[in-house]
Amino acid sequence: MKKILFLLPFVLLACKSNPLAVTEKDSKAISKPLEITYKVNETEVSDFLKYLSSDELEGRETGTKGIEKAAVFLEDFFKNNKVKPYFTSYRDTLTNFKSPAYNIVGVLEGTDPVLKKEFVVLSAHYDHIGVEKKQQADIINNGANDDASGVTAVAQIAKYFSETKANKRSILFVFFAGEEKGLLGSKSLVQKLKKQNFNLYTQLNIEMIGVPMKRDYLAYITGFDKSNMAEKINEYTGKKTIGFLPKEAEYQLFFRSDNYPFFEVFGKPCQSVSTFDFENFDFYHHVSDEFKLMDIPHMTSFIQEFLPAVTKIAVSPTQEITMNK
């Protein structure tokens, strides 16, 4: 996550018998949570995260050989899961970085002839801070929690929608570069989308979900009071999935991740979700942010719990998530 002043910045989301793998408890009551029969594969979560946070990628700093390897890995993931490029290729070149750098952007077109004109954006940043300049035993900032964990979640959600076709709206899946350099990837992409008159409904950005919180809710969102997103996610999952974290408001985390450039340009509900609460993980921007410290069962459970929410966001007949006045 982008570093701000001296604060710990934020950081900061298959059953084949039914092709949709989704059923509604009550088709007439839109407020009823969905039952999802699709099961997120824990081994796939682990394998994906392990490679993305491995030493081979050298901390994934934007503009380096390490992040280039990550880009190829993410492109291959999209190809293998039949997620199409949004542009002419998966690579969206940053317009605001001195050397070649790329967001990786894929799309799944919606299945409804009308709703497919509206877009949901699911995103995470795949860059991190690279290699330490001073000599020490471990010099690689692997960024397992920040934000390989979020990328893993978005990737698994993309796989779910690719297999189930459970999205009436179109979904843009974005892995941002340049977040650690000042939200450069999201700032670059959002200007291109604005010129296309991109019809954004909402954005859910996932940041640092590698370890659980010791609270009575699963995660929090940034800008809790700016929209009804928290309320709707809880309604869609039928659980207390999202809660309010006071430190999120104190540190104004809403403005410090890749959701903010989208909110600034489109004025729609664009928020980040995280389980990093400033108490449960000591290795922000540290060489010890490694795969071995990530809680894979928690991450798998997190992704599973969010599937009803992202599905409802993608299929609701009206735009139920709205900005608060």
Residue boundaries of the structural domains of the chain = 42-315
Q: What band does 3 get if pLDDT is binned at 50, 70 and 90?
A: low
Q: Which residue has the higher pLDDT, 78 or 22?
A: 78
For residue 157, what pLDDT band results from cuts at 50, 70 and 90? very high
Whether the CB-CB separation of 148 and 49 falls below 8 Å is answered with yes
pLDDT score, position 4: 43
- Of the candidates 123, 1, 131, the residue with the CA atom closest to the CA atom of residue 64: 131
The predicted model gives 77-93 an average pLDDT of 98
Of 190, 163, 164, 165, the residue nearest 176 (C-alpha): 190
State mean pLDDT over 278-301.
97
152-180 mean pLDDT: 98
In this prediction, residue 31 carries a pLDDT of: 59
The mean-pLDDT minimum among 3-17, 19-33, 100-114, 223-237 falls in 3-17
200 Cβ contact partners less than 8 Å away, ≥ 6 residues apart: 118, 119, 121, 193, 262, 266, 268, 270
Percent of the chain with pLDDT over 90: 89
Question: What's the chain's length in residues?
Answer: 325
% of the chain at pLDDT higher than 70: 90
Given a cut of 90, is residue 8 above it in pLDDT? no
Contact 95, 191 (CB under 8 A): yes
* pLDDT, the chain, mean: 92
Band of pLDDT at residue 6, cut at 50, 70 and 90: very low
pLDDT of residue 32: 77
pLDDT at 12: 39
pLDDT of residue 53: 98
> Hey, what's the torsion of the CAs at 84, 85, 86, 87, to 10 degrees?
-150
pLDDT at 27: 34
pLDDT given for residue 1 in this prediction: 61
Element (H, E) at 189: helix 184-195
Looking at residue 251, the DSSP 8-state letter turns out to be T
Give the amino acid at 57: L
Q: At what angle do helices 149-164 and 65-80 cross, to 10 degrees?
A: 20
70 vs 29, which has greater pLDDT? Answer: 70
Q: Bin 174: left if φ > 0, else alpha if -120 < ψ < 50, else beta.
A: beta
**Does residue 17 carry a pLDDT above 50?**
no
Mean pLDDT to the nearest integer, 75-95: 98
Fold classification of 42-315 is Aminopeptidase (3.40.630)
Answer yes or no: are the C-beta atoms of 79 and 66 closer than 8 Å.
no
